Structure 1
Amino acid sequence: MELNVSTASQGGHAVVTATGELDLYTAPRLQTALAGLLREQQVDRIVVDLSGVEFCDSTGMNVLLAAMKRLKEQGGMLELAAPRPAVKRILQVTGLDTVFSVTDAVPAMDAG
């Protein structure tokens, strides 16, 4: 299964949309997208839209954790949006639902 990652940013906010399976083989794709945003340092809030992610393993979680930690160090925040039940369960089982800011809805980005 592939993982597709797209990014939209506006002002200091960015939405990273991931679709597919987030695992050992596909996690570098998400990591690259997040690293690019963190390098620019013009973003103080990143929302990762997980509504299209059907599976996420520990590698995927580690990518998200590392990005959250780096963003916090830069004074920003990372949120996870709309995780599917399988991903939500992983967050709950690992206790990461208390570490990440998790929202049920994906914030709308103004087109323009």
Structure 2
Amino acid sequence: MELKISSRSRDVAVVTVSGEIDLYTAPRLRSGLIGALDDGARRLVVDMSRTEFCDSTGISVLLSAMKRSRGKGGDVELVAPKAAVRKVLEVTGLDEVFTIHRDLDALPVAAGTGNAP
């Protein structure tokens, strides 16, 4: 799994994940998300447009990052999850927990949280 982290502003980190998130790759995702929070981001935007698969381990990493982010007054938002990932989110009810954006252009640019139009 490729993991790219870039920053849009001081409080927002955009994490792009490609490939599969599973038991073997989830620790890399965890490190990237926690690292972004430790570097000062409060709001994590996870671009999942190139993520083909996400198992329960990956979901657990996302939820853990959300808890940590919310503790700092931020949130975790997902961008463009593919059908297989969206199905996991829907089955678990997490599509109602995470803010999900259709693409990066739909993101509010202000640091903080919010839903896409």
How high is the TM-score relative to the length of structure 1? 0.89
1:76 aligns with 2:87: no
Residue 17 of structure 1 corresponds to 16
Deviation at 1:46, TM superposition (A): 1.1
1:87 aligns with 2:85: yes
Partners of 2:78 and 2:24 in 1: how far apart?
Answer: 21
Query: Which runs of structure 2 are paired with 1:27-42 in the superposition (5 Å)?
Result: 27-40=26-39, 42=40
Deviation at 1:70, TM superposition (A): 0.4
The amino acid that maps onto 1:27 is: A
Deviation at 1:11, TM superposition (A): 2.3
Partners of 1:50 and 1:22 in 2: how far apart?
Answer: 10
The amino acid that maps onto 1:60 is: G
The structure 1 segments of at least 4 consecutive aligned residues displaced by more than 6 Å after TM superposition are: none
How high is the TM-score relative to the length of structure 2? 0.86
Residue 97 of structure 2 corresponds to 99
Secondary structure of the structure 2 residue equivalent to 1:65: helix
Gaps of at least 5 residues in structure 2 are: 108-117
Number of residues of Structure 1 aligned to a counterpart in Structure 2: 105
Partners of 2:104 and 2:87 in 1: how far apart?
Answer: 19
CA RMSD of aligned residues (A): 1.1
The amino acid that maps onto 1:64 is: L
Indicate the percent of aligned positions where both proteins have the same amino acid. 50
Deviation at 1:44, TM superposition (A): 2.1
1:64 aligns with 2:62: yes
